[in-house]
Every structure is written in C-alpha cells, then in structure tokens.
Amino acid sequence: MIELQKVKKVEEEAIKNIEKAKKEAEWIIEKAKEKAKREKEEIIKEAIEEAKKLIKKAEEEAKQKAKKIEEEGKREAIILKEKMKNKIEEIVEEIIWEVIK
C-alpha cells in the first residue's frame, strides 16, 4: 500500500512538472511570437523606407533626364529655326533675282 502511495505521489509530481513545463513552453512560444512580430514589423518598416528612398531617387533621376531632354529639344528647335530662316532667306533671294531678271 505504501508503495502504491509513493507511485501515485511520484505520478502526481510528474504531472505537475509536465504542466509547469507546458506553461513555461507556452509562455516562451508566446514571447517568441511577439518578438518575431516586432521584428517583422521593423523589417517591413525599413523596407518601406528604403523603397521610398529608391522611388525618390528614381523620380529625381527622371526629372534630370526630362530636363536634359527638354534642353536638347530647345537647342534642336533653335538650330532648326536658324536653318529654316537661312533657307527662307535663300528662297527669298532666289525669288528676288528671278523677279529682277
């Protein structure tokens, strides 16, 4: 009978230890999940900030390229205008010479 009580007591202690270990494991898992969530949110925040920086950089580069293209277009327009002006002057001169003849 005493042996049976000892076994029962050991069994109860084992069950208590198992429950205690289970609660500790659940607490550890919960804390790990919370930490993982915080780290994930921080990574996402950093990724968003980096993406914003990259977008801003791309926008600045696009503005610079657009400005350069606009300046080149203006230069080409001026050159074309001068060529057309010279061509018109040549044609006018030819017409004048034809009229004078």
pLDDT digits 0-9 by tens, 34-91: 999 999 999 999 999 999 999 999 999 999 999 999 999 999 999 998 989 888 888 8
Look up residue 59 and give its DSSP letter.
Answer: H
For residue 14, pLDDT over 80 is answered with yes
Between 29 and 9, whose confidence is greater?
A: 29
For range 2-30, the mean pLDDT: 92
Confidence tier at 3 by pLDDT (50, 70, 90):
confident
Sign of the dihedral through C-alpha 57, 61, 62, 63: positive
Return d(Cα 81, Cα 92) in angstroms, integer.
16
Place of tokens 């001068």: 82
Return d(Cα 73, Cα 67) in angstroms, integer.
10
Return d(Cα 101, Cα 60) in angstroms, integer.
61
pLDDT for the residue 18: 96
- Letter string b/e over residues 27-55, b meaning 16 or more CB atoms within 10 A of that residue's CB: eeeeeeeeeeeeeeeeeeeeeeeeeeeee
Predicted TM-score (pTM) above 0.85: no
pLDDT for the residue 15: 94
pLDDT for the residue 1: 73
